[in-house]
């Protein structure tokens, strides 16, 4: 695994006129090329660490795989100097991604690129139904999740530059947490962890993200069977549309003792 953080010199200034040089800790951002059976599929910018989870979660979100049994092997390529190229061999009988999915460009860490073009396409290709998930939560339990997520962010404490995604059970217990420079990467790492552990679908869980709830994150949560997506910031309009269509509960602006419930309010028990 590559370095997660690096030290760089900075010039520290203040409005009072003081100045000084000191080292600062930065989150590492490096490219990861994903290959399937030796054929390049895409390149994503990510923070090194949990790369196998990242790739498994990405392939699950794109509908290439549905479970751990669809993966034969994953390994770093020996023909590269750094561990920045990962090759996946699918299990016999699993259909490889077609050429239309191959991306000859870099996916930035700022946002994911969803392979599906519309909610209608996602509806037709939905692996799990979350509308009937019986999970019920109280506002008090939800209000505790941002603090629990923040407390578990080890690398963020040193850099201040990473997003986090945390998977919680019905009692608010933390099942998995992943950090990355990209919001979508952090979610892919959590979903990939669950897939490799044989935990999909993620019935009765809450996915808590440190930023906003975009369409891509909602799509990834839905594909993994997560009934509740909560974010400390705002959702997009398309994220709300997708969550409503899927029967998911979408919570935004989860800060302090208040929150906005955009869809699936029946799961929040007052």
Angle value at C-alpha 106, between 164 and 191, nearest 5 degrees: 35
- Residue 270's pLDDT is 86
The number of angstroms, rounded, from the C-alpha of 208 to the middle of its chain's C-alpha atoms is 10
Same domain flag for 120 and 203? no
Domains contained in the chain, number: 2
**Domain CATH code at residue 254:** 3.40.140.10
Same domain flag for 161 and 195? yes
Give the residue numbers spanning the domain of 109.
Answer: 30-124
CA distance 140 to 122: 32
**pLDDT tens digit sequence for 100-149:** 666 544 555 554 444 454 556 666 668 899 999 999 999 999 999 999 99
- Residue 113's pLDDT is 45
**Domain CATH code at residue 49:** 3.10.20.10
- Residue 98's pLDDT is 81
Same domain flag for 70 and 149? no
Tally of CB atoms within 10 A around 61: 26
**Under 8 Å between Cβ of 265 and 250:** no
- Domain final position from 124, 152, 181: 124
Q: Which residues of the chain have pLDDT under 70?
A: 1-2, 79-82, 100-125, 155-161
- Residue 263's pLDDT is 95
- Domain final position from 64, 89, 124: 124
CA distance 196 to 52: 9
- Residue 107's pLDDT is 57
Closest CA to 101 of 116, 111, 90: 116
Q: Which residues are catalytic?
A: 111
Closest CA to 228 of 162, 136, 153: 136
Closest CA to 74 of 29, 37, 107: 37
- Residue 160's pLDDT is 67
Length of the chain counted residue by residue: 270
175 within some domain: yes
């Amino acid at each position: 695994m590559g370095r997660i953080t690096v030290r760089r010199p900075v010039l520290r200034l203040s409005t009072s006129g003081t100045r000084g040089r000191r080292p600062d800790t930065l989150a590492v951002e490096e490219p990861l090329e994903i290959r399937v059976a030796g054929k390049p599929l895409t390149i994503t910018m990510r923070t090194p660490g949990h790369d196998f989870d990242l790739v498994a979660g990405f392939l699950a979100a794109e509908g290439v795989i549905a479970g751990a049994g669809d993966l034969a092997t994953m390994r770093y390529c020996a023909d590269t100097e750094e561990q920045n190229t990962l090759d996946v061999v699918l299990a016999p009988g699993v259909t490889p991604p077609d050429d239309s999915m191959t991306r000859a460009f870099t996916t930035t860490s700022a946002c994911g690129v969803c392979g599906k073009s519309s909610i209608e396409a996602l509806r037709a290709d939905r692996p799990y139904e979350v509308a009937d998930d019986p999970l019920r939560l109280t506002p008090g339990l939800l209000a505790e999740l941002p603090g629990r997520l923040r407390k578990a962010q080890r690398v963020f404490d040193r850099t201040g530059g990473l997003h986090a995604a945390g998977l919680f059970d019905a009692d608010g217990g933390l099942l998995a947490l992943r950090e990355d420079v990209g919001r979508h990467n952090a979610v892919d790492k959590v979903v990939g962890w669950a897939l490799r552990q044989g935990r999909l679908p993620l019935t009765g869980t809450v996915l808590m993200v440190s930023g906003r709830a975009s369409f891509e994150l909602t799509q990834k949560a839905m594909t993994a069977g997560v009934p509740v997506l909560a974010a400390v910031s705002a959702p997009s309009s398309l994220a709300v549309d997708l969550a409503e269509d899927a029967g998911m509960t979408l919570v935004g602006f989860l800060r302090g003792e208040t929150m906005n419930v955009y869809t699936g309010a029946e799961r929040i028990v007052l």
